[in-house]
Amino acid sequence: MKVITAKTAGFCFGVKRAVDKVYEQAEKGETPVYTYGPIIHNEEVVKDLEKKGVMVIGSAEELSQLHEGTVVIRSHGVSKEIYDMIKQQGLHLIDATCPFVLKIHNIVREQSAKGARIVIIGNKSHPEVEGIYGWCDGGAAVIATEEEALNFTSTPGQKICIVSQTTFNYNKFNKLVEIISEKGYDILVLNTICNATAERQTEAAEIAKAVDAMIVIGGRNSSNTQKLFEICKNECENTYYIQTLVDLDVHSLPSMSCVGITAGASTPNKIIEEVQNNVRNEL
């Protein structure tokens, strides 16, 4: 029996960096440590951090009540307003925004300051998009569907700068850009999609194609894990979605000679290893 674990399974560079920073702060134990929103979509990690005294701030209102401690900004980043609020309240700020997201903040800040109309291709309610929006001088149009792209209008003569949410689907991004391009505006397109997601998805599909069963590990609410599951299920009928080892009943898996494992961007290595070892030993 062979077990193939995807090399790209689990934390991407930006998430690993953010999680490491929170643990680093928690271990110092100097001041109360907060994260603005859960550091990642993984209940296990959030609970573990909670045990170490790390608290999650859920909103700007909650943030406005704090007057001491360290606030860690997660890899998604935040709007300029939140950033300023943390500083103005005299809180210690640890910025764990992924450098790829920071790059988008800089682009939209500079381009909107020069008068360009910003278009963000992404999901309006995603925290990363809310953060990017908050660095645009004069707001931005957020577009996620073909219908929204078709309905998009701008002031004639105004330059348009298009960026993308880092985790947006590449083909969909191209399609939406194509629709906007046909409107004849002066457009600057910056593809800011991060390769980590595409690489993880491509590798998962390749493995799923070659195995008898595929295990996808990740939080129930993690959209990138849900997507991974869909991709694997398309290639391999015996695909299982689990959060941790507890959800996996190895004996219920049909007899097989090869099992593949991948995991969403928020799944800690420890969980991936546990599943991998268990599958190896049990089958």
**Residue 196 binding ligand F3S, by CB under 6 A:** yes
**Residue 194 binding ligand F3S, by CB under 6 A:** yes
114-173: which residues touch ligand F3S (CB under 6 A)?
166-167
- Residue of 50, 128, 148, 235 marked active site: 128
Q: Does the annotation count 282 as an active-site position?
A: no
> Given candidates 13, 23, 152, 170, which one binds ligand F3S under the rule CB under 6 A?
13
3-state secondary structure at position 125: coil
Identify whether the C-beta of residue 49 lies closer than 8 Å to the C-beta of residue 23.
yes
- Binding string to ligand F3S for residues 18 to 57, with x set by CB under 6 A, is what? ----------------------------------------
* Alpha-carbon distance values, 98 to 14, 17, 24, 131, 269 (Å): 5, 8, 17, 12, 19
**Residue 15 binding ligand F3S, by CB under 6 A:** yes
**Residue 98 binding ligand F3S, by CB under 6 A:** yes
Could you tell me the smallest distance in angstroms from the CB atom of residue 72 to ligand F3S?
A: 14
Nearest CA-CA partner of 173 in 199, 186, 200, 191: 191
Residue-wise over 152-171: b if at least 16 C-beta within 10 A, else e?
bebeeeeebbbbbbbbbbee
Binding site for ligand F3S (CB under 6 A): 12-15, 75, 98, 100-101, 166-167, 194, 196-197, 265
Supply the residues annotated as catalytic.
128
